[in-house]
Amino acid sequence: MSVISLRSVSKKFKGNVLFDELSAEFEQGRTYGLVGPNGSGKSVLFKMICGFLLPDAGSVWIDPKFMAPKRAFPDRFGIMIDGPAFLPGLTGKQNLVDLAAIRNTIGESEVREILALVGLDPDSPQKARNYSLGMKQKLGIAQALMESPDVLLLDEPFNGLDLASVGNIKELLRQRQEDGVTIIFTSHNREDIDELSEVTLLISENRITELAGRR
């Protein structure tokens, strides 16, 4: 059963044609690895799925269970697009607690738990601006994973992480796979894609093509 469907989507972005009549289906509970050269439109595709950008032609269909009547953007989606998002003047925990207060489905204890799971100290007084590249990345992943989303859109989740942390995050993603979460992620490392994804999609020349994968 599809949760996201791209139907003949065309999109120009800043003068470049990114997608031309692109169609794809993303089924519930499956993991999709997106590969493609720089500037091929992977991040734009994520933004269109979320509704932050509209296609010039065609449509992006989202399972109505994620779209309550007054919502313009889907519910229960965990996202990390264009790098980790954080307020530099707050600690990692404060950042997540502030974000969690919007949905109000989890509290501070769950925030502490997810921070510890990604390998960050929940009690650290360090401001996010002073985090290392890898720590910022972990904070971004924690942000996406908290509140137990049903769909995860992760743009380059393993960027800047050391080997042990990559293994840890992969393990967390495997647990989400077992829980039936739909995961769409991008990576320039083919090994990561092959290891985690069931379907590998190549975005190139304005099109999306399915490559061989673990079906």
Partner 1 sequence: MKFLVSVFRQSGWACGLGVLAFGYGLYCRQLIVSGSSSSTSVGFWDVVLETVGNPQFIIFVLLAAWLLHAILRGGQETAPQRLLRLGTYRKVLAAGTDQASWHLVGMAVVIILAIVVAAYGLPLVSAPSSGLGPQTVSGAFSTVGVPASVASIWQVLQLGLALLVVRVTFTAIRIHVQKPAIEAALAILIWLWAATSTIGLFDKNSPLNAGLYFQAVSAVAQPAAYAGAVLTMGLIGALAMVAALAADARRTKLWRLHVSPAGLQALAVLVVLSLTMQISIPKESSLFGSISFALQGNSGTIVQYLLSTLVFPGYALVFALGQQESTGSWRAVTLIREGSFGGMLRKVAAREFRRALVYLLFVLLVATAAYFVLGGRDVSLPPQGLGIWTYQFFINGLGQLSFYLLLVYAAEVAFGTRLAALISIGLVVVLSPPNIAVGRWLPVQQSAMSLASGGWEAVLPATASLLLAGVSIAVALGLRIRKRHIVI
- For β-strands 77-80 and 16-27, DSSP reports them as unpaired
70 burial type by CB count under 10 A (0-12 exposed, 13-18 middle, 19+ buried): exposed
Stretch in the footprint of partner 1 (CB under 8 A) among 29-37, 97-105, 117-125, 180-188: 97-105
CA angle 140, 178, 106 (to 5 degrees): 45
d(CA 15, CA 144): 31
Q: Which one among 35, 81, 141, 208 touches partner 1, defined by CB under 8 A?
A: 81
User: In this complex, which beta carbon is closest to partner 1, that of residue 85 or of residue 202?
Assistant: 85
- State both tokens at 27: 């089924």
Minimum Å gap between C-beta 143 and partner 1 is: 6
CA distances (Å), 143 to each of 23, 72, 111, 201, in order?
29, 20, 9, 25
Decide if residue 54 touches partner 1 (CB under 8 A). yes
Q: Which one among 1, 64, 70, 109 touches partner 1, defined by CB under 8 A?
A: 70
Q: In what order do the strands lie in the sheet with 2-13?
A: 16-27, 2-13, 57-62
Asked if residues 32 and 201 have their Cβ atoms less than 8 Å apart, the reply is: yes
Q: Is 105 left (phi over 0), alpha (psi -120 to 50) or beta?
A: alpha
User: In this complex, which beta carbon is closest to partner 1, that of residue 79 or of residue 111?
Assistant: 79
- The amino acid occupying position 62 is I
Decide if residue 108 touches partner 1 (CB under 8 A). no
Q: Which one among 23, 37, 39, 71 touches partner 1, defined by CB under 8 A?
A: 71
Binding-site size for partner 1 (CB under 8 A) equals 27
Q: Which one among 85, 97, 202, 211 touches partner 1, defined by CB under 8 A?
A: 85
140-169 mask for partner 1 (x: CB under 8 A)?
Answer: ---x--------------------------
- State both tokens at 213: 């994968």
Stretch in the footprint of partner 1 (CB under 8 A) among 65-73, 117-125, 176-184, 188-196: 65-73
Decide if residue 86 touches partner 1 (CB under 8 A). yes
d(CA 29, CA 151): 8
In the complex, the residues that contact partner 1 under the rule CB under 8 A are: 47, 50, 52-54, 68, 70-75, 77, 79-87, 89, 99, 102-103, 143
